[in-house]
Amino acid sequence: MGLEVKNIVAGYTREVPILNGVNLTAQDGRVTVILGPNGAGKSTLLKTIYGYLTPQEGEVLHDGKRIQDLKPNQMLGEGIAYLLQGHSVFPRMTVEENLELGGWIMRGDQKRMQTALDFVYARFPRLREKRSFLAGILSGGEQRMLEIARLTMTGPRTILLDEPSVGLMPSLVDEVYEEISKLKDERYTILMVDQNVRKSMSIADYVYALALGENRYEGPREEMEKKLDDIVREWI
Amino acid sequence: MDFSLLLDPYILTEVLVQGFVRGAMYALMAAGLSLIFGIMGVKNFGHGELFMLGAYAMFFVTVVLGWPWPVGIAVAAVALFIFGMLLERTLIDTLRRKAGRDWVLDAFILTIGILVVLQNLALILFGTSRRGVTSLIDGVLVWGPVIVSYERLMILGVASLVGLSLWAFIRFSSLGKAIRAASQNPEAAQTLGIDIRLIYTVTFGIGAALAGLAGGLLISIYPAHPTVGFEPVIKSLACVILGGLGNVPGAILAALLLGVIEAYSAFFMSAGWQNVITAGLVVLILIVRPSGLFSSSKVERA
Amino acid sequence: MTAIPARARDANPWRSTPVRVLKVLFLIGLLIFIPPLIDNPYITRIFISAVMLGVMAAIFDLMIGYAGLINFGYAGFLAVGAYTSALGTFHFQVSPWAGLLTGGLATALIGLATGVISLRLRGLYVALLTFFVGESIRFALSNSPEFTRGMLGLSVRPLPELLGFDFSRGNILAYYYLLLLLGGAIMLLLTWLVRSRFGLAFEAIREDQLATQSLGLNTTKYKLYNFTIASFLAGVMGAFYASYLGILSPSPEEFGVYRTVEILTITYVGGRGTLWGSIFAAFLLIGLQEYFRGLGPWRLVIYGSLLIFVMLFARRGLAGFKKYLW
Ligand SMILES: Nc1ncnc2c1ncn2[C@@H]1O[C@H](COP(=O)(O)OP(=O)(O)O)[C@@H](O)[C@H]1O
Ligand SMILES: [Mg+2]
């Protein structure tokens, strides 16, 4: 099951498709990594999966259900969470408010909300300490942790990550990857894009390489690691 | 000009109360304008027409039907809430899907079209005559040298209550939080399951309700007629700029300030020159500090 | 952008160059000969209104359509031209003919100043700034009755005789032909301007200021050119308007937001970035307005609805229908 992308053609305008027939499967409970040079269409692919862009052709299935006609705000309800590229905390709201918004779709259920908050705080004690700080004044690494924590509030099955480690100091990069490994251990289905090729390969189960909006290579991690030098050379 | 007159307690309270009543009207209008701009990027030039419709609703309920004034104010607010949501869903939402990068300017032009249509429909339906009431409540409060009519106290009371409720709503309710989230990062808000279109519709409805409520509340001072919204919209637009576009508390502060300044300067100059000064002030602020008077302070942008 | 189907573009004889020239000549012929042939002052006045507002709208379009700068205080700028000319005659015996020039120059100055103070602003902010500039002008005019007669109204002398042509108020055909000459010259100037390197620079301002600046184009300079030239022409039209109308008052209908909205609607209905579209739109709108005169405020409802319609469903205005009509 997991997430299946079948022959997707999509773009920002009708005339210029960015994705020209991409195929991809993110297996249940596995980490799937998408590699590709800048501008290959990786973010565009995630946005299309999440309903920001409507595909002109093709299908997106989540656990066997067609989801390409759904809107972005319906995706979390389908069990798919999404970490956007760049900053996505609400800077002028507190850490706790940010987390509560992560649970927006279960806002009627105060008990479930509290359980989720307790769970997240247990896992990220630093966020509990800073719960009443405005998110905008947290450090870059703390903001990224808050974003990741916020993704898990509703207990989704699948998580899309767009460049989770970009722009962070090396020590923080390790921290972020530790968190992603934990998510992997908790059997989330993860589909991830990252500039940090080696790091992301190290936790990947299966890897795709895109170029110019098309599949270029794919394979299990071990196989792709051998080809890696060739792949990266092609980008330059 | 005898300046000592301004220290006379009678005149002082008179000026302050009058200033705050005006300021309250500007604030109700400016808060809605600023909220709508901050969240949707729409500068609603037709906001004065919503004020006008609120005034007519008030007149209809209290004078034509003869119901008590609190009902009238509630009806004005609720009717405009619904009307605002309809406007948003039918026109502004349609534009959002068609306009690209020029959205902010195009939306502004669209609201001008809305202004022209509403104002002239009102002219057709209701004519030019002014429809108001002399007062909603009779009597004055005498307290030492201070004399204030109950009517004005009521206006100030209701406006403060509404302002506080709005603040509490935005601050504490989950819908309010979603509105703030949508204004700070609309894309991220959507990934959390927030229906951004609904947020826009509700936000516009709230802004319209505030304008309608202002129109109803001030009916004894500004009787309903088709162009009654012109002055409020210009002045509240000025407050929104002075307070910083999209900064609701800043706009409210600017509104109270402008109200009091106008009431004071009425001693020295005609309303006409006051308008020149207000407009000049806005131009000055746009030149030297486009982000508004209070942008550096830590006021939270709702 | 919707792709224009390549077919029927060159093949259609209706669009070949000679036919186009004929079509243009035919329209010019209509403009020149209809008013004298019908010889009805009412019709002539309608033609004057349409050409005048059309040219004003084309000038407005130079700002909004080509450079993305909206002058939402436009009517205030027209007022500067009108009042400079009229007050010059009233107080200082300046010839109204010279007033066409002084009106233009005074407005150009205001335009330059407004351009300078709005340099750092974009889009909506320019609209708000110019709106309050326009309103300040209007308030200032209405609050100085000892000089401008304020809302009492300032009466303006008709243009004196020139080259044997009589410009007394009864002879509105003379005003009409003067307007055709003046308006024609302005339209040709605008057309030349937007096709020259200025046009490219204006477009660059509209598309993206930052990108333009990084390309080394001095957007500041071209923004000022745009505002100043447009204001000069607006001032000339304002001065003509004053002489033609004979009485000025700084009311919102005449020189305030309503007039700006009227002109803006014509520009948008004509299609942003299409100068000549404004002229067609002016005839359409003024025609509608006259046709529905009996309907009173309904005609303004039609105006507003048309603006809404254009914004939502016909975003290129009449220009979007050009392929069916032209
Ligand atoms: N919002 C957008 N509008 C138009 N084109 C875009 C937009 N975002 C990205 N693109 C274009 O789509 C292509 C793919 O971009 P993206 O998916 O962001 O690449 P990647 O994430 O692989 O670096 C690029 O050519 C980029 O210029
Ligand atoms: Mg990307």
Domain locations in chain A?
A: 3-235
Q: Is the CB of A48 under 6 A from ligand 1?
A: no
Q: Give chain B's residues under pLDDT 70.
A: 1-6, 295-302
Range 116-175 of B in CB contact (< 8 A) with A: 174
Q: Is the CB of A40 under 6 A from ligand 1?
A: yes
Interface test with C, best of B45, B47, B92, B109 (most C CBs within 10 A): B109
Most confident of B172-186, C16-30, C194-208: B172-186
Give the chain A residue whose CA is nearest to the CA of B299.
Answer: A92
| Domains of chain B from N-terminus onward | 3-301 (1.10.3470)
Residue C314 lies inside a defined structural domain of this protein: no
CATH class for the domain made up of A3-235? alpha beta
- Torsion over CA: C199, C202, C207, C210 (sign): positive
Q: Is the CB of A148 under 6 A from ligand 1?
A: no
**What's the maximum distance between 2 C-alpha atoms anywhere in chain B?**
63
Q: Which pLDDT tens digit goes with each residue over A15-68? A: 888 999 899 999 999 999 999 888 889 999 999 999 999 999 999 999 989 998
pLDDT at C139 over 70: yes
Residue C104 lies inside a defined structural domain of this protein: yes
Residue C264 lies inside a defined structural domain of this protein: no
Q: CB under 8 Å to C243, separation ≥6 — which residues?
A: C85, C86, C96, C99, C156, C157, C158, C159, C167, C175
Residue C172 lies inside a defined structural domain of this protein: yes
Residue-level pLDDT at B187: 92
CA distance C317 to C326: 14
Q: CB under 8 Å to C13, separation ≥6 — which residues?
A: C19
Per cent of chain B over pLDDT 90 is: 53
CA distance B47 to B234: 9
Residue-level pLDDT at B125: 92
The H or E element that residue A18 is part of is strand A17-26
Please identify every residue whose CB atom is under 5 Å from ligand 2, which is an ion: A 43, 85
Residue C326 lies inside a defined structural domain of this protein: no
Q: Is the CB of A130 under 6 A from ligand 1?
A: no
Please tell me the total count of domains within chain C.
Answer: 1
Q: Which pLDDT tens digit goes with each residue over A108-157? A: 889 999 999 999 999 999 999 999 999 999 988 899 999 999 999 999 99
Angle between the N-to-C axes of helices B47-59 and B9-40, in degrees from 0 to 180, rounded to the nearest 10: 120
Q: Which pLDDT tens digit goes with each residue over C243-279? A: 888 788 888 778 888 889 889 999 998 888 888 888 8
Strands (E), A86-228: 158-162, 189-193, 206-211, 214-220
Residue C3 lies inside a defined structural domain of this protein: no
CB-CB under 8 Å, A72 with B181: no
Residue-level pLDDT at B301: 33
Q: What burial class does residue C5 get, using C-beta atoms within 10 Å of its C-beta: 0-12 exposed, 13-18 middle, 19+ buried?
A: exposed
Closest to C110 measured CA to CA, from C196, C238, C251: C238
Give the chain C residue whose CA is nearest to the CA of B280.
Answer: C136
Domain boundaries, position C166: 42-251
Q: Which pLDDT tens digit goes with each residue over C34-92? A: 777 777 878 888 888 899 999 999 999 988 877 778 888 899 999 999 998 888 776 77
